[in-house]
Structure 1
């Protein structure tokens, strides 16, 4: 995810907007080190009695519902054994972007003020030092030094989350290792550190100069398509999704450059991180993406995304005709300059 996407997510957090994914999540798939009985007491503004409030858990850039509560006299309560330290979400609307973030660290009782009457702008969490630290990050995210942040708060789940969520997509393998090593050992079994520990291997096998790892996935018709069958030209392996605003804004630029250079030996191979086939197919048609498209419809569990260390989209790798990686994450003018260098000689 680029900086613009990060700002959008912070905006949605401030608004208290929410998302629901009705996918079961087992403790084995997202294991954390400690379980504790946690009580989250909530008060709502603008929410009628008998309405539902949902508790969600964050995993791999997605929120999953793990509990619900009914509003009574403007109040609700979650009392549940939770794996901590961890990021959870509280939401009333299960169709939009992001819930109110609730970092649960060492406290056994938190208070949530959920203000749906004002679009969530006055929603707040009390009793969580981690939530307070995350607010500090949000307020200073434009001029932010992740290394200094981790050094000051090495044992906070927020340090691990911010490194994983906002910085890892743009870091080299060596940087990921260096910053992750600054985190306290008490965080080693959290999902964020586990994912950060796995990321460098994928980045090293797909860095510039390496042969692109091959994979096969179905296209919209169900036909299995192999990446290496498209070698023989300069090929942009483009990771995107119909739901990704920055991807959709970049698509016209890729279409324009594809039309400009396709006769000279430039091709595009689209890999979608969608989860809904209809949305994927409609976006292909609307954006006029006239090149091979594949997807396992696994969202952030996309196998090729993991294989290539893609933690944010739009993302891409540029291959030479032999399938060797010659560039990563070129967009806008950078992509145009690189293609001009290759073809306008």
Structure 2
């Protein structure tokens, strides 16, 4: 991964001072820092949206110091990085009144960072350390006004929740969070999930294959069809691929097929992964990462993910993995 900054000689210090909210609903955030880095190196401030970071500002290091100001929506999750790919960003939750101090280790993409002055970031770190023992309803009730409660519900729990559960847990969040992107997304999810529920007709889409040929979903119908959402960069997807390959090879002559939809944004990586994992079925991608049109169309919020269609194109199952996938296909084709 190409770095824009040289190897850190010392520690990078970022000082965030959050001022009063302005009439536009945003808050002026002054950011100052000291860094033992080469002149003209850059540090980036990013906004998190749809599981991706987008650069919104940058600071140039000159004579060991830098500064910039931005108007930010608060409370919100932001990223700090020296990496233009955004794949190794330091998570920083910024709220009203915070004065954050960050020691940022560029040599490890911020993973050795020390953050003070952000209770929300502290709470998020504590969640990550104990995630397996967290019960989301209790977690939200502990701090219903915390941006972290909304983020954890959206990012880690909503992909596996029913429309009814999403509505119930979202109702536990404080009204002060209604304007945040996570609560807005959570409120929109139930209606979309119901429109793509089991028993509904699968919406059509068309995307290019690696060779540029356009493949349309409706042209793949006539068999039990698994729409398999994956990506070359997704470790769990790559570990599940051998299982899908095995089931495909076993039942491809008995009325079962697969259509792969990649959430990659790098064509070379996508093509290499198809070859390495020996994925013999049709593959398509718009190379838009989490902005993948089919992923949004089918409400895919985590990968690996899949949707199983009957020969007429009706949705009959979702997110089948491992032995569960084979048992389902065997019961249908036999």
User: Normalising TM by the smaller chain, what interval?
Assistant: 0.7 to 0.9
SS in 1 for 2:229: strand
Distance 2:67 2:167 in 1: 40
Query: What runs of 5+ residues in structure 2 fail to find an aligned partner?
Result: 1-23
Choose the corresponding residue for 2:239, options 249, 254, 264.
249
1:56 is matched with 46
Residues 252-263 of structure 1 mapped to structure 2, 5 A cutoff: 252-263=242-253
Matched, 1:281 2:274: no
Question: 1:128 pairs with 86, 111, 118, which one?
Answer: 118
Q: CA separation in 2, counterparts of 1:337 and 1:223?
A: 33
Change (3 A) 1:227 1:119: closer
The alignment partner of 2:253 has SS state of helix
Instruction: Quote the Cα distance in structure 2 between the aligned partners of 1:294 and 1:122.
Output: 38
- CA separation in 1, counterparts of 2:108 and 2:228? 39
Aligned residue number for residue 25 of structure 2: 34
Aligned residue among 135, 138, 162 for 1:172 = 162
Aligned match of 1:182 = 172
Kept in 2: contact 1:202–1:306 (CA 8 A): no
Contact 1:219/1:294 (CA < 8 Å) preserved in 2? yes
Write the distance in 2 (CA, Å) between the matches of 1:102 and 1:339: 44
TM-score between the two structures when normalised by the length of structure 2:
0.86
2:144 counterpart of 1:157:
no
Q: Establish whether residue 82 from structure 1 lines up as the match of residue 72 from structure 2.
A: yes
Q: How many residue pairs end up in the alignment?
A: 311
The residue number in structure 1 matching 2:105 is 115
Q: Unaligned stretches of 5+ in structure 1? A: 1-32
Correspondent of 2:282 among 292, 314, 327: 292
What's the CA shift for 1:194? 1.7
Give the alignment of 1:92-241 within 5 angstroms. Answer: 92-95=82-85, 97-116=87-106, 120-241=110-231
Task: Give 1:49 deviation, angstroms.
Answer: 5.6
Q: 1:117/1:184 Cα in 2 relative to 1: closer, same or farther (>3 Å)?
A: same
Question: Based on CA coordinates, which of the two structures has the bigger radius of gyration?
Answer: 2
Of structures 1 and 2, the one scoring higher in RCO (CA 8 A, sep 6+) is: 1
Partners in 2 of 1:329 and 1:162 — Cα distance? 21
Q: What value does the CA root-mean-square deviation take over the aligned residues?
A: 2.1
Secondary structure of the 1:160 match is helix
